Structure 1
Amino acid sequence: MSVVERLKAADPEAMHEFGVALGGVLAAGDLVILTGPLGAGKTTLTRGIGEGLGVRGPVQSPTFVIARTHPSLVGGAPLVHVDAYRLADATEVEDLDLDFEGAVVVAEWGAGLVDARESWIEVVIDRPVGGAGSDDSDSDSDTDTDTDDSEEFAEAPIEPRTITVTGHGPRWQNGVLA
């Protein structure tokens, strides 16, 4: 069973606030798969999730370290932030020995690499590319910085992102943000 919800994020602040709201409903054992082009706002969203969970920051892109763990400051689940962009297949994810049961795992570029669980959330962020006035110079790049994509979000003309949230499995049968 899958429940699909769609919303718009007009700017990085709206993406961050969506992350805070999402972080407020997540718990240990939850998996969030993020998909979207470079500069779409995946790390901005994850930073908001971290704030919603009350974890130690700063939450930055784990591009070069593959995964970062952010312990909870409020006695809740830690956040494990994974960037699966440079991983070849699911066996490389397994080699990371992630704590899927005891943490909230957010995997950027994780579609098809991180095994789906009984319940999980998929977030697809679409941003306009190639349109009049848009700068999609980073859309073909295979290099990301270890800072965050909020800077890329801010560098592109401010155009709303369309966010599609799909809750899979029994945990999310009534919707993710319900």
Structure 2
Amino acid sequence: MRSDFPHAGTEVAATAEQAQELGARLGAALEAGDVVILDGPLGAGKTTFTQGIARGMGVKGRVTSPTFVIAREHRSQVGGPALVHVDAYRLLDQSTDPLGELDALDLDTELDQAVVVAEWGGGLVEQIAQSYLFVTINREAEDDTRVFSWNMVH
């Protein structure tokens, strides 16, 4: 990840658009081999944030939750890395070998040549990356505000 995005921080997003804008700033700083883990309860905004990442990376395709397909690959429109968007919850929930399951998806892109964004990725990412950006999303119930906190883990 390029240094123009802080390796640790906290930001509040009062709207989905603000969450996507934060994601776009992160996406613009991501490089091939980067791994981002998104953690937060159902409805916290993980996919919304990933839509912003995709915009910042300049990748093709509509970004939707990968819940039923486990992973989606979005190719770059600007010569950058592909985005591999993973629902690790399903991998961790259904498999004793989640890394093998990820590899068995037969993605066209080598993971070290792409950016991997994994929703519910704790427990999986440690197997595919020595360092990663861990993003926690907390949703405030009363007004739909989301608090994003992130930290680079080495």
Structure 1 gap segments, 5+ residues each: 135-157, 170-178
Q: Which amino acid aligns with 2:125?
A: V
Tell me the percent identity: 51
CA distance in 2: counterparts of 1:90 and 1:120, whole angstroms? 22
Q: Match of 2:126, SS?
A: coil
**Residue in structure 2 matched with residue 114 of structure 1 by the alignment:** 125
Paired residue for 2:3? none
CA distance in 1 between partners of 2:151 and 2:53 (Å): 16
More helix by share: 2
**Which letter does structure 2 place at the counterpart of 1:49?**
I
Deviation at 1:90, TM superposition (A): 6.7
Q: Which of 141, 145, 150 is the equivalent residue of 1:160?
A: 145
2:90 and 2:79 mapped to 1: Cα distance?
A: 32
The question of 1:63 aligning with 2:46 is answered no
Q: 2:23 matched to 1:12?
A: no
**How far 1:85 sits from its partner (Å)?**
1.6
**TM-score, normalised via structure 2 length:** 0.84
- CA distance in structure 1 between the aligned counterparts of 2:82 and 2:130, rounded to whole angstroms: 20
Cα distance per residue 1:33-56 (max 9 Å; x no partner): 000011111000001000000000
* Higher Rg of the two aligned structures: 1
What is residue 4 of structure 2 aligned with on the other side? none
Equivalent-residue separation in structure 2 for 1:93 and 1:37 (angstroms):
23
Structure 2 unaligned blocks of 5 or more: 1-6
* Contact 1:90–1:115 (8 Å) recurs in 2: no
Q: May I ask how many residue pairs the two structures share in their alignment?
A: 140
Q: Report the RMSD for the aligned CA atoms in angstroms.
A: 1.6
